[in-house]
Structure 1
Amino acid sequence: MGEKQPNEQLATWFVRSGWSKGELARQVNRRARQIGASHISTDTSRVRRWLDGESPREPIPKILSDLFSERFGSLVTIEDLGLKAVPNLAPGSGVDLPWNGSQTVQLISDYSRSDLMLNRRGFLGTSLALTAGSALIEPMQRWLAPAPASGGLPTGALATARGGRPPTGRISPPELALLESTVRMFRQWDAQNGGGLRRKAVVGQLHEVCDLLQETYPADVTRRLFQTTAQLAHLAGWMSYDIGMHPSAQKYYVLALHAAKEAGDRPFGALILSDMCRQMIHLNRSSDALELVHLAQYGSRDTATARTSALMHALEARAYANLGEVNKCYRAARLAEDSFTDISVPLEQEPDWITFFSEAELNAENAHSYRDLSYHAGRSEVYALQAQPVMERAVELFAQDPDHQRSYALNLIGMSSVHLLQKQPEEAAASAQQALEIAIRIRSERVNTRVRKTTAAATDEFRGVAEVIELRDRVKQELPEYTRNQAV
């Protein structure tokens, strides 16, 4: 009576991982040091006790979730491991947040300050839990609800728009324009160099803008400040996602969506939800991804440009591909192509945040959808053959675009995976070598992880091919294991 029962769920994941007890203990200790939990010291006997049913102390359950998720390339929750998560009772710690302007400002200010103070060693990003399923989708659906009694204008800070007290803030038109241009500059740096290089600068700028929003301004100024806040929070989320800090990325995305609602900016809100969809695809949560992109499409149905619609249809196709819904995937991919063909606005007249979605990106998304269909159909060469010319076109276009090096690398890796599906190891190794050259120059753990995974897949299947051996050895030497100390 009352004796501990073996943790069969943890044991199953442990056996599948191929790790020894000593190796798992070493990885837990290493990750604990990275997040500043230097008091953690695990050994083989402790791992054995976990397998026998002992509950590890915090933050070990979250560390184990991260390690197994990285090992298998998909989200492995604390509950999946047969462990209990300690609920985070801090106000505003999850994703179900109040849709109120002044509270949104305070939450973003608090979170960005905590990020700047605590994330020097990655503590913040790894102490959060990722939200998925209905716990994520239902709060996001409230984005569609009308703003309370303000005619769609931001709440809280827009007191002057409702006949409240006069403006207390002072910001000149040139200063406001400079803030907006700073966001564009950060976005360019991210595309060229990856999310690891300027993330903290973006978070710091976000915190400063929140300080501005503690004051009141005329309606148009407040709206523009909320738009800037939304774009900076979104960019902080995107950069966090790029360096593998998924819970932090999700938190910033949710906060960005709240700020976009305050600004009355439905199209940008749709972009945020689309990137949340992209993250869920990356984490193998395809049903959640589909719900998010459908929410984006519905919420922006009367306001999205043709380019934004093309992006959402392309991501819808990716979600369907990962669910194995072949016909729906094809339909969404065709709709993406049709919407892109319908673009009539010159690129310089589009919002800056959507200009990245070019012909190269359209080809890249659809090529990855066809490739993912191949994976879902047991590595079918039929879909791989369909993906090849589309991926080649994406790679060709990105090769001519020095401003999007990360995207170029990601599609070279995609090309490598397509070659592997077609049993072409030499060509796969050549594409991966090109991606490696870029990975060394930029700061994107997303690129690094995909290079490592593709190299591992090539090695598993074609370990006797000289080009694959050369690639494997070079990746081991030039892409050392990522630590969160790199997230500057």
Structure 2
Amino acid sequence: MSGDSGADGTSTGKRPNEQLGSWFVRSGWSKGELARQVNRRARQMGAPHISTDTSRVRRWLDGEQPREPIPRILSELFSERFGSVVAIEDLGLRAAHQSPSASGVDLPWTGHQTVSMLNEFSRSDLMLARRGFLGTSLALSAGPALIEPMQRWLVPGPPAEPGPPRPSAAAAAQRLSPLSVPELQLLESTTAMFRQWDAQCGGGLRRKAVVGQLHEVTDLLQESHPEPTAKRLFRCAAELAELAGWMSYDIGLQPTAQKYFVLALHAAKEAGDKPLGSFILSSMSRQMIHLGRADDALELIHLAQYGSRDCATPRTQAMLYAMEARAYANMGQPSKTKRAVRMAEDTFADALEANEPEPDWIRFFTEAELNGENAHSYRDLAYVAGRSPTYVSLAEPAMRRAVELFAEEHEYQRSYALNLIGMATVHLLKREPEQSTQLAGQALTVARKIRSERVNTRLRRTVDTAARDFGDVPQVAHFTEVLTAQLPETAEAV
């Protein structure tokens, strides 16, 4: 009997699970390989008692319903394999009932509950999952289950409930936690420093430090503060939660990333900072594009644009237009993609002309980033349109300009690597494998200096494509061997 005998339910009358079988066949895995991956993921999430084997996998395919955490693990494994959300229900499996505070994104929009959930979630991340996994408590949300709760970001909060008579100003001041302006400024500057580290080194190097800082800020938020101080603390919590989500996304922890993004949006609402909320929604949109959910990405971006239309700076608006273009490109809508690209370029020019003060979180959106996003939009259109040379010709100069600028901006090493890989894919589309391999080699040099599973995954996929299409080219064959030897297969989450 396998060691996970207590984690499986009864058979469902020997009726084969056709949904699970379909995903399994398409994955290309053997039963033994799937069993090994389940066991490895179970150990990572702190469930070493799980010991699945090929006979157990066969029973699942035959219709046996496993208990948690097996359905959650299978959902994560197939989602990562196919680059899109594969829900537990899509696998023909039953999900365990969970409270809204433990899973999902439909959470209460109130200040004290936001603080409580942020505090609980960051503590769990730090203490219960040393390698970054939060056990069985998380599942990715998509479609209406994601979009509809996020739309409540724009709904005014409930009025304050009547309470006891207000104390005198002197008595209230005595009970308020003394948090000085220099202390607040230090918290804010520390967040900016963490953001800089992420851009230079990738999400895998300082993620735990960011989560720890977020937990400290939520501890502060549980004390009494004057309203202006409380709003600054909520803004700090929102920025840290967004950054924790971004770093989690960068190292492949997709459910964890989404939960942080959602909590960050709640904190931004408490801070009354709509531009910051739009930025958080743009991060969620990027994740949805990565997961193959361009329609969800577009909904999130439109929500961000509508919610910040009267208060976002031109640079922030330009970033949102660029992300709108990415979504349209992945949906195969050329005219709308081109329009959004033009709006991004024009609005960015307005930002340079206005030269107004900007929050630190939008500082990353430079001319290099603008060119990179627009180039990727045209590159994605080229793929959707069957390797269309028209869109390849539009992608190439913008991607080249992005690479040139990022080479000069040493602060953004991960973006430099991603755009080198992007340029490599453009050369593959042009059927120029030698040039593609050369750029992939430059990207590998950068990838080995940072901790970003997103960079590693994109590089592996690009080289896999080159090997499939041009495996007889000596440079491609040689670099495939080099990549296998030098790039670690997995990155530990920290």
Correspondence for 2:493: 487
Mapped partners of 2:347, 2:15: distance in 1: 56
What are the residue-to-residue correspondences of 1:221-260 with 2, within 5 Å? 221-260=229-268
Q: 403-412 vs 470-479, which deviates more?
A: 470-479
Correspondence for 2:128: 118
Corresponding residue to 1:393 among 398, 401, 408: 401
Matched to 2:176, the amino acid is T
SS in structure 2 of the partner of residue 324 of structure 1: coil
What are the residue-to-residue correspondences of 1:31-70 with 2, within 5 Å? 31-70=41-80
Contact preservation (8 Å) 2:102, 2:138: no
Matched to 1:257, the amino acid is L
1:109 aligns to 2:119 (yes or no): yes
Mapped partners of 1:212, 1:219: distance in 2: 13
Mapped partners of 1:468, 1:67: distance in 2: 29
Per-residue displacement from partner, 1:312-353 (whole Å, max 9, x unpaired)?
000001001111111111111111111101114676821111
Mapped partners of 1:45, 1:76: distance in 2: 23
Mapped partners of 1:116, 1:232: distance in 2: 14
Mapped partners of 2:34, 2:103: distance in 1: 29
Correspondence for 1:448: 456
Correspondence for 2:152: 142
Mapped partners of 1:348, 1:458: distance in 2: 44
Corresponding residue to 1:438 among 420, 424, 446: 446
* Structure 1 residue 480: Cα displacement: 2.0
Per-residue displacement from partner, 1:413-444 (whole Å, max 9, x unpaired)?
11111111111111111111111111111011
SS in structure 1 of the partner of residue 189 of structure 2: helix
1:215 aligns to 2:215 (yes or no): no
Correspondence for 1:296: 304
Distance 1:120 1:383, change over 3 A: same
Distance 1:262 1:372, change over 3 A: same
Contact preservation (8 Å) 1:419, 1:428: yes
* Structure 1 residue 122: Cα displacement: 3.2
1:89 aligns to 2:99 (yes or no): yes
SS in structure 1 of the partner of residue 338 of structure 2: helix
Distance 1:346 1:338, change over 3 A: closer
SS in structure 2 of the partner of residue 26 of structure 1: helix
What are the residue-to-residue correspondences of 1:139-218 with 2, within 5 Å? 139-149=149-159, 165-166=172-173, 167-218=175-226
* Structure 1 residue 134: Cα displacement: 0.7
* Structure 1 residue 390: Cα displacement: 0.8
Corresponding residue to 1:372 among 373, 380, 386: 380
Distance 1:161 1:361, change over 3 A: farther
1:363 aligns to 2:371 (yes or no): yes
Mapped partners of 1:125, 1:333: distance in 2: 40
SS in structure 1 of the partner of residue 64 of structure 2: coil
Contact preservation (8 Å) 1:406, 1:442: yes
SS in structure 1 of the partner of residue 364 of structure 2: coil
Correspondence for 2:143: 133
Correspondence for 1:343: 351
Distance 1:92 1:17, change over 3 A: closer
1:274 aligns to 2:282 (yes or no): yes
Correspondence for 2:418: 410
Per-residue displacement from partner, 1:17-43 (whole Å, max 9, x unpaired)?
222212222222222222222111122
Contact preservation (8 Å) 2:12, 2:63: no
Contact preservation (8 Å) 1:374, 1:380: yes
Mapped partners of 2:249, 2:135: distance in 1: 10
Mapped partners of 2:176, 2:305: distance in 1: 38
SS in structure 1 of the partner of residue 130 of structure 2: helix
* Structure 1 residue 487: Cα displacement: 1.9
Structure 1 unaligned residues grouped into runs of 5+: none
SS in structure 2 of the partner of residue 146 of structure 1: coil
Per-residue displacement from partner, 1:119-138 (whole Å, max 9, x unpaired)?
20333066410111111111
Contact preservation (8 Å) 2:103, 2:139: no
Contact preservation (8 Å) 1:160, 1:218: no
Per-residue displacement from partner, 1:249-284 (whole Å, max 9, x unpaired)?
111111111111111100000000011001000000
Structure 2 unaligned residues grouped into runs of 5+: 1-10
SS in structure 2 of the partner of residue 120 of structure 1: coil
SS in structure 1 of the partner of residue 134 of structure 2: helix
Q: 169-178 vs 192-201, which deviates more?
A: 169-178
SS in structure 2 of the partner of residue 31 of structure 1: helix
Matched to 1:481, the amino acid is E
Mapped partners of 2:285, 2:294: distance in 1: 8
* Structure 1 residue 160: Cα displacement: 9.2
Q: 331-340 vs 124-133, which deviates more?
A: 124-133
* Structure 1 residue 90: Cα displacement: 5.8
* Structure 1 residue 56: Cα displacement: 2.2
* TM-score, normalised with respect to structure 1: 0.94
Mapped partners of 1:348, 1:467: distance in 2: 48
Contact preservation (8 Å) 1:112, 1:203: yes
Mapped partners of 1:311, 1:90: distance in 2: 32
Matched to 2:221, the amino acid is L
Contact preservation (8 Å) 1:36, 1:121: no
Identity of aligned residues (%): 66
Q: 300-309 vs 112-121, which deviates more?
A: 112-121
Mapped partners of 1:399, 1:107: distance in 2: 40
What are the residue-to-residue correspondences of 1:469-484 with 2, within 5 Å? 469-483=477-491
SS in structure 1 of the partner of residue 431 of structure 2: coil
Distance 1:126 1:401, change over 3 A: farther
Distance 1:144 1:412, change over 3 A: same
SS in structure 1 of the partner of residue 409 of structure 2: coil
Contact preservation (8 Å) 1:273, 1:296: yes
Matched to 1:242, the amino acid is D
* TM-score, normalised with respect to structure 2: 0.93
Distance 1:481 1:2, change over 3 A: closer
